[in-house]
Chains A and B, each alone.
Chain A
Amino acid sequence: MTKEFAVPPVDFSGGSTTGANFQQRRAPAPPFQPPRPSSASSSIPFMSFDAASAAASTPAGPFGGTIASSSSFGGGGGYASFEDEEPLLDELGIHPDQIWKKTRSILNPFRINKTVHKDSDLSGPIFLYLALCLFQLLAGKIQFGVILGWVVVSSIFLYIVFNMLAGRNGNLNLHTCTSLVGYSLLPVVMLSAVSLFVPQGAGPVRFVIAAAFVLWATRACSNLVVSLADGGEEHRGLISYACFLIYTLFSLLVIF
């Protein structure tokens, strides 16, 4: 025996509520449109202020410097269609292939590829910072704020030292400096991953491994800084000592 369900026909024609219509779905109403008088009818120029165009005019997120192109908004119907929107990563300014290229260039400390690092970005350093914090977390140390604070302080330190040493023709800017210090944290990240497996009691072994990674990071950072900004060539040793201090500080966090 089949049950007969008195299912009223689904009606999309404007919201009639007859009975308990749980299946009836309302069509999504278009967002609120302020009435737009034509320019001929009113003397006051009316600035049509859409939510879509408002979103298009705000700049992109804190990472990277690219501003989302807003030319694709405000199509037909008044609200942005999904296909016209920019991809999220582009809008935020995160370019994963660029990050990967830059990270890979740090892997070889003996040959510096400075063209890849020419436009600086901060999303790669943020990613490396999160990786370092994750490995520290696995070792039982919760040091998110500490590492972030130390990265900021040490990049300001390197910025001051480099520009003061280079004098009048020093043109390292803080964004580039932070980007380079952040990318050169890759060896420290690897050190923290490796030190998860080295037993706690083997004292000298930990120091030797840490020293190797610190020297790698120092070499990468100082070579990049000297090759990317003017005025640093005759002060290579002095600048690389400053970088050495910075990365020794981070390695202290990892070892102890």
Chain B
Amino acid sequence: MYNNMGPQPGMPMHQGIPQPGMPMHPAIPQPSPFGNPFSGPGSGLIRSGLGAYGEKIFGSSSEYVQSNISRYFSDPQYYFQVNDQYVRNKLKIVLFPFLHRGHWTRISEPVGGRLSYKPPIYDINAPDLYIPLMAFGTYVVLAGLSLGLYGKFSPEALNWLFVKGMVGWFLQVMLLKISLLSLGSGEAPLLDIVAYAGYTFTGLCLAVLGKIIWGYSYYVLIPWTCLCTGVFLVKTMKPVLFAEARSYDSSRHHYLLIFVALAQFPLLIWLGNISVNWLF
């Protein structure tokens, strides 16, 4: 339904050309669906960031460390291959998921003999990390604005709001991860789950914005946001759950999905309640 790019050229997703700069330990590239984070696009950022610890990381246990990092922290640059059109369409899907007429499965392509998913520019269902990051920042800024309008703004309060947002994000990640683990092997990359969890902040921003503009609209927007986030997460996690599950146990899957959708209500109500003390 959404086509963010024109005719798609056969773009290889990751090249194995080592970047100039730090001498690369000659390691066998680990086959992972999202490319080796140390020899792909964006690796310059990781390399210069880890440059100070170069000797420690690229020491004798390099291969073991690399494989572990690749498994738990798949190449983050994949999640930032976005453009304006993708962002707009994805926001439409996240905020109004029942209007999406297309399918919800991610398009996979065989790369290097192993199935991997297309990057977000080519596939509207692929998760990305740009929207969650920006939505989180917008949530913090809008919450600070709403605090200020009630006369309770202070930099420390903003720090507590940041912490509260982080805790909320973490709780959402835990919810999704536990529901994955309880069913199957839970092999979905961590950054995928982090991205899915971060999409809730978009609806939350809408609710807080409504609260700023007109106080009573909050009581309409919060249930709407919970509903939309629940539907979005259910529709996104369904193919993931069914792909990862070890045994096909239909009723258990459905109960878990309903639980995920219902758990959005307390979580979002807690996050949307902007006050100075961050517990409630």
Q: Which of B74-82, B101-109, B256-264, B268-276 contacts A (4 or more CB under 8 A)?
A: B74-82
Within 74-132 of B, Cβ neighbours of A (below 8 Å) are at 76-77, 80-84, 87, 129-130
Are A167 and B41 closer than 8 Å at their CB atoms? yes
25 pairs, A vs B, C-beta closer than 8 Å:
A146-B155, A161-B130, A161-B133, A163-B45, A164-B45, A164-B76, A164-B77, A167-B41, A167-B77, A168-B42, A234-B83, A235-B83, A237-B84, A238-B84, A238-B130, A241-B134, A245-B134, A245-B137, A249-B140, A249-B141, A252-B144, A252-B148, A252-B153, A252-B158, A253-B155
The 8 A-B pairs at the shortest CB distance, nearest first, are namely A256-B148, A168-B41, A256-B153, A164-B80, A146-B155, A167-B41, A245-B137, A163-B45
Q: Is B236 an interface residue (CB 8 A)?
A: no
CB nearest neighbor in A for B141: A248
* Nearest-Cβ distance from residue A203 to partner chain B, whole angstroms: 9
Out of A235, A245, A253, name the residue touching B138 (CB < 8 Å). Answer: A245
Q: Mark B33-77, 1 if CB is under 8 A from A, else 0.
A: 000000001101100000000000000000000000000000011
* Measured CA separation A237–B81 after assembly (Å): 14
A-B contact count (CB 8 A): 61
Q: Interface size on A (CB < 8 Å)?
A: 25
Complex interface: chain B residues within 8 A of A255 (CB): 148
Interface of B is mostly: helix
Give the interface of B toward A (CB within 8 A).
41-42, 44-45, 76-77, 80-84, 87, 129-130, 133-134, 137-138, 140-141, 144-145, 147-148, 153, 155, 158
Q: Mark A170-196, 1 if CB is under 8 A from B, else 0.
A: 110000000000000000000000000
* Nearest-Cβ distance from residue B248 to partner chain A, whole angstroms: 38
Interface of A is mostly: helix
* Measured CA separation A164–B80 after assembly (Å): 6
* Measured CA separation A171–B134 after assembly (Å): 21
Complex interface: chain A residues within 8 A of B129 (CB): 164
Out of A163, A165, A168, A249, name the residue touching B82 (CB < 8 Å). Answer: A165
Q: Mark A236-256, 1 if CB is under 8 A from B, else 0.
A: 011001100100110011011
Within 134-190 of A, Cβ neighbours of B (below 8 Å) are at 143, 146, 157, 160-161, 163-165, 167-168, 170-171
* Nearest-Cβ distance from residue A146 to partner chain B, whole angstroms: 4
* Measured CA separation A161–B133 after assembly (Å): 9
Instruction: Specify which of B41, B134, B155 lies most central, judged by the most chain A CB atoms within 10 Å of its CB.
Output: B155
Known: A245-B134, A252-B141, A252-B145. A143 touches B83 (CB 8 A): no
Beyond A161-B130, A168-B44, 14 additional pairs, beta carbon < 8 A = A143-B155, A161-B133, A165-B80, A167-B77, A167-B80, A170-B42, A237-B84, A238-B83, A238-B87, A245-B138, A249-B141, A252-B145, A252-B158, A256-B147
